[in-house]
Structure 1
Amino acid sequence: MTIPSHPGPLTRADLDALRPPEGSERYELLDGAIIVTPGPGRWHQAVVVELTVLLRSNRPDGLVIKTAPFDVALAEDTVLQPDLLVAGRDDLTAKDLPTAPLLAVEVLSPSTRRIDLLLKRDRFAAAGVPSYWIIDPDVPSVTVLELHDGAYRAVQMRRGDEPVHVTMPFPLDFRPSDLLLE
Structure 2
Amino acid sequence: MTVRDLAAIPEDGRRHELVDGVLYVSPAPGLRHQHAVFRLYGLLESGCPPGMDVVGGPFAVRSGDQVELRPDLVVGRAEDFTDADLPMPPLLVVEVVSPSSGIHDRVTKKAVYERWGVPDYWVIDPVALSLTAFEISADGGYQQSAEVAGGEAFETERPFPVRVSLAELMNGR
Distance 1:163 1:115 in 2: 25
- Which one of 139, 144, 163 corresponds to residue 154 of structure 1? 144
Distance 1:171 1:99 in 2: 23
Tell me the residue number matched to 2:90: 101
In structure 2, runs of 5+ residues without a counterpart are: none
| TM-superposed deviation, 1:34 | 1.1
Partner secondary structure for residue 95 of structure 2: strand
| 2:170 corresponds to 1:180 | yes
- Which one of 36, 46, 59 corresponds to residue 47 of structure 1? 36
Distance 2:109 2:152 in 1: 26
Distance 2:154 2:95 in 1: 16
TM-score, scaled relative to structure 2? 0.95
Distance 1:134 1:85 in 2: 12
| 2:65 corresponds to 1:68 | no
- Which one of 117, 121, 127 corresponds to residue 138 of structure 1? 127
| TM-superposed deviation, 1:70 | 0.6
Question: RMSD across aligned C-alpha pairs, in angstroms?
Answer: 1.1
Aligned residues: 171
TM-score, scaled relative to structure 1? 0.91
Partner secondary structure for residue 155 of structure 1: strand
Identical pairs, percent:
40
| 2:35 corresponds to 1:38 | no
The residue type paired with residue 26 of structure 2 is: T
Moved over 6 A (4+): none
Tell me the residue number matched to 1:7: none
The residue type paired with residue 44 of structure 1 is: H
- Which one of 7, 10, 14 corresponds to residue 5 of structure 2? 14
In structure 1, runs of 5+ residues without a counterpart are: 1-9
- Whichever of the two has the greater Rg, that structure is 1
Deviations 1:50-108 (A, max 9, x none): 10000011110111111111100023111001111001110011110000110000101
